[in-house]
Chain A
């Protein structure tokens, strides 16, 4: 977030550390796993793996909204409790010790998801459950679960359609809740979910085209279920090589998981995006990079005569009852006095 502080009064600040951000934007994340039940272990593992990668690349928990529809780590059917593995070698426990799940179990619903996106949340919601983004935030939205042509299934009881999702993104754009948005979806027929987007600055990736199924990677005989989906598995391998300073761009991400590995054809959509994908760094969305310049100079801040801020858009409210009544009275009196024949000159 650009840190230009405008102070209303004169102050002389001894700035030992001046935080300047040159064109870097804060990144926020929403990771959603929409599937319940033990045999959908892989969807939770997908989501947790992406969560771990972005945390490793520097995004704090306060900027991540993690929604998991079921608890796999403490599931009674889990032979290795308190762990969620992404690979059958059991090397990486993606559940770890510091997972912060914001929406869990029955709270992962279409309504809550759309409320998080659009910001229409009741005032009692804690900060960890909100998407705190503004018009300088780059947002990554990762969704996984079971889906079809034009919809994504939430918890076996409801669905979200691609039209709803596109409208939610348009609401976000109108409310200036994002600068750029990267949407990744790993479900069957995932490309149908981004067909209907119409807001600017959205780039979308999907694991399969319409009519194709996204397949899972490998089953694990000890745990008894498939551990991960193919597309996310290879995206993760790709992300493991990224560090906060790397210069890999989006074109490399588009090449991840060709048809030979993934069996389905991953797709992407960049026509709504302003910049050329080859100029977009992976760390713009997956990592949080701030350039910090340390200085020991003294900087004196001038007093501004008025607050230099964007003029607040005043919301228009329809006129209240008193005003309406007053006008009704005036009009009624006028017509009674001068007769109804004057009406034709008004309209």
Chain B
């Protein structure tokens, strides 16, 4: 289920130089951000984001990257990494361009691992270390904690240490409130030498179902046998009254031979014709299939896109050493402008947090979302690689046993041989008989 729920506690510390009128952003800057979002089920989602405007990668010491330790980050229910590179204008007139590199890491921590059954969590419990100092190279370094539903009163939860500021904005169509902790603010770190954010639930949160996003998708392979199959993608539009278009991009490897005449798109039982289709067929061993469609999703519906395929037989040497594991089909990419529940006012991209500006949209009535469905594992017809060895053994055995016996029977001659008796006694007797001149025994 590719649910677009980036409930991340975005901790963005923006500590830029003061003054609203910045003629041009600092030339080379590093901004780092951690967003922590408690999910309704009690799990905690954390998203790190690092943005640099340098030509080369920075070596980061201190700051948020101390929290990036593999042993804790892989003990999670969900883990996702992304790298975004794009050219950005250096100034409003766009006379010079620099490259922006964003690296994001999203993880979802399981409540039971972090809190021993209780839903409380802290940075130390999640990452087994705390934030000690800001990164010396960062111009901004912040931690955001999502406290949307509970900002009014202090009776449901308590965030420790108390935040200095809060940040409110329309994120992904809904209004959200974040507690902001600025690592570059000296008062924050100096008090306690380290920053260990803790969240304690005063009242246990009701087990509400997680919010279903307006757009989510699922993909699967159906069919039986190793000759053919069907690839289906389900697109869910859960908005009660708005329909919106979705761009679906599928890149299927060449060894799954798609039959495009079997492509069917149905919504609510009726056929749905896409507004735009682009298909580039695969060439064996050279390039994969490329299928791109713009599909209108009616409100409150499920759209099923399905296409049948045939599995190809690869050449002997093209099989991997573990062919029975299966072959991967890369995820399909969905891009859509989803209507928001709350209209957002246009943001100043430089001042707003990183998590808000990944896909900036100038029109506040919808927000841009890019989803990836799950990758699929497809089994191809696999030859039995041990067959030549087995055949050689069997054939040689059969030849040796059957033909060999037959050959012996036909060509061997048999002589009758006297059994020899006596031995030493007989020899002695013959010696004496020879001395006497008598014929031997």
Contacts and interface: CB of A to CB of B under 8 A. Distances in A.
Partners in one complex: yes
Interface string A69-85: 10000100000011100
Interface string A153-168: 0011100000000000
A82 B74 contact: yes
Contacts of A315: none
Contacts of B69: 97
Interface in A64-109: 69, 74, 81-83, 93, 97, 106
Contacts of B320: 106
Interface in B47-96: 69-71, 73-75
B385 interface: yes
B70 A97 contact: yes
A290 B159 CA distance: 54
Contacts of A36: 321-322
Contacts of B322: 36-37, 156
Interface residues on B, range: 10 to 19
Contacts of A93: 71
B417 to A, nearest CB: 40
Contacts, number: 23
A111 to B, nearest CB: 11
B70 A157 contact: no
Nearest to B79: A81
A157 B71 contact: no
A74 B71 CA distance: 11
Interface in B262-288: none
Given A82-B70, A97-B70, A157 B75 contact: no
A57 to B, nearest CB: 24
A9 B287 CA distance: 54
Interface string B286-320: 00000000000000000000000000000000001
A298 B73 CA distance: 53
A156 B73 CA distance: 32
Contacts of B385: 157
Interface in A16-37: 36-37
Given A36-B322, A37-B322, A106-B321, 19 more contacts: A36-B321, A69-B321, A74-B74, A81-B74, A81-B75, A82-B70, A82-B71, A82-B73, A82-B74, A83-B71, A93-B71, A97-B69, A97-B70, A106-B320, A155-B321, A156-B321, A156-B322, A157-B321, A157-B385
- Nearest 3 CB-CB pairs, A to B? A81-B74, A82-B70, A82-B74
13 contacts: A36-B322, A37-B322, A69-B321, A74-B74, A81-B74, A81-B75, A82-B70, A93-B71, A97-B69, A97-B70, A106-B320, A156-B322, A157-B321
